[in-house]
Amino acid sequence: MEQFDTLILGVMRVSSAGISREDIGIRDGKIAALGDLSAATATLVINAENLHAFPGAIDTQVHFREPGMEHKEDLASGTLAAICGGVTTIFEMPNTNPTTTSSSALEDKLSRASGRAYCDFGFFVGAATGNLDELSDFEMLPGTPGIKMFAGSSTGDLLVDGVDNQREAMRHGKRPMPIHSEDEKRLRERKGIFGEHPHVRVHPEIRDPEAARLSTERLIQLCEETGRPIHILHISTKEELPLLADAKKRGLPVTCEVTPHHLTLNADQYETLGTKLQMNPPVRSEEHRLAIWQAVKDGLFDVFGSDHAPHTLEEKAKPYPESPSGMPGVQTLFPVMLDWSLRGEMPLTQLTNMMMERPAELYGINGKGKLEIGFDADLILVDLEKSWVVSDGAMKSKCGWTPYAGRTLKGTIENVFLRGEMVVSGGEPLNLPIGQAVQYDWK
């Protein structure tokens, strides 16, 4: 009789290929068997006939603020929020204080995460004008998924400005490079045209669609010139969509990300949410939101990412534009997009491809993203029949708020497993900070 550590019986297993009722056998942190395992035994047996099993979500864009800004988030609180939202792997961005722009800064983050992280992790190294010739070496260091580039300024002081510096950054390395795409020259030109303290509703006019379009057009040209794979983050405008579609049609190594807030929220909500809605690039009009949704349905986007970027309510209460850009989102990434799927906006198979399978493929993550034999037993058990109301109090982020408060979402997370260990039970986290650095198969 076959013996497992954990048996999940009668669950609906979700993949990009389809949904099938199967038993899942977990042994030594891996998926060891699939199919009819009713004759097997296990230390833990879960009857999951009313549940769906998804691979653990992979959020490839979070800002956990450590070191330097731990009052609003740290690696423990951020990864706890992640695991409670079904995110079992995160990639954290380099705009901390100090910035992650050296091997020693990367080692420091890896050390900080050890024994404190509730999910698995990787830390991007930031491109900066002073380290461009070292990027090829940095992207191959243990613990990093590669190099992040800010082509437009956002939170922090990481910026690679000008076409020559951006070209140079792309020339040093081969792994996909995630990029914040806004044109810095245009951002600076438009900064003062609405007066000293305008209403935050002008944020999408200051950081206007043309700033995003100009930058994305230039980055695609540099991709074609250098051959470097690029991954354009948080697309926010309808104007960028044909550029990306054309680049993909021509076979360029261009991929792109879309966030829940650009798919769910619109500029009307600046009147109610105020600076809580303030992000870079901005949440824009309903016209942009609908166009981006259509691009999701057309298959343009590769991945969903949260761009989790928390600030305290006190910081957000500052008058615009002193108020910082950014909102929390790692804990709501999977629930918000699952809700959209259950409301008929996209199939569960597409959700699983974009939030689990494709991120693992894009960044060469070993053993994650699929519920298949030999893969890490990272999985989410979800009751698709139940609904819940999002509240600030349910958020594990130190910032203590969410722009989705009051929203009813379909689908509740019942259990989360990380490498075979149950880390969330009955929707509540267990105190198991067992996160490890992700392994990659880049040579």
What CATH number does the domain containing 357 carry?
3.20.20.140
Q: Give residue-wise pLDDT tens across range 44-91.
A: 999 999 999 999 999 999 999 999 999 999 999 999 999 999 999 999
> Does the pTM exceed 0.95?
yes
Low-confidence ranges of the chain (pLDDT < 70): 154-157, 443
Task: Calculate helix-pair angle for 103-113, 75-84, nearest 10 degrees.
Answer: 60
Do 158 and 235 share a structural domain?
yes
Beta-bridged to residue 53, according to DSSP, are: 13, 381
Residue 397 forms part of a structural domain: no
Do 154 and 35 share a structural domain?
no
- The per-residue pLDDT for 152 is 76
What CATH number does the domain containing 10 carry?
2.30.40.10
Collapse the DSSP code of 107 into the 3-class scheme (helix H, G, I; strand E, B; otherwise coil) and give the result.
Answer: helix
Residue range of the domain that includes 102 = 56-362
Residue 371 forms part of a structural domain: no
- The per-residue pLDDT for 49 is 97
Number of domains in the chain: 2
- The per-residue pLDDT for 154 is 62
Question: Rounded to the nearest 5°, which phi and psi values hold at 113?
Answer: -75, -25
- The per-residue pLDDT for 192 is 81
* C-alpha count within 13 angstroms, C-beta hemisphere, residue 63: 26
Please state, in angstroms and rounded to a whole number, the distance separating the CA atoms of residues 365 and 284: 33
Do 36 and 128 share a structural domain?
no
Do 354 and 420 share a structural domain?
no
- The per-residue pLDDT for 157 is 64
Task: Return the active site residues.
Answer: 307
Residue 199, number of CB atoms within 10 A of its CB: 14
Do 61 and 25 share a structural domain?
no
Residue 280 forms part of a structural domain: yes
Token pair for 139: 């992207």
- The per-residue pLDDT for 297 is 98
Residue 40 contacts residue 25 (beta carbons within 8 Å): yes
Do 68 and 49 share a structural domain?
no
Do 18 and 69 share a structural domain?
no
Residue 435 forms part of a structural domain: no
Do 105 and 79 share a structural domain?
yes
Close Cβ partners of 208 (under 8 Å, ≥ 6 residues apart): 186, 190
Do 177 and 74 share a structural domain?
yes
Q: Give residue-wise pLDDT tens across range 263-310.
A: 999 999 999 999 999 999 999 999 999 999 999 999 999 999 999 999
Do 194 and 125 share a structural domain?
yes
Residue 440 forms part of a structural domain: no
Residue 381 contacts residue 309 (beta carbons within 8 Å): no
Do 50 and 70 share a structural domain?
no
- The per-residue pLDDT for 195 is 84
Residue 15 forms part of a structural domain: yes
Residue 396 forms part of a structural domain: no
Do 257 and 206 share a structural domain?
yes
Residue 89 forms part of a structural domain: yes
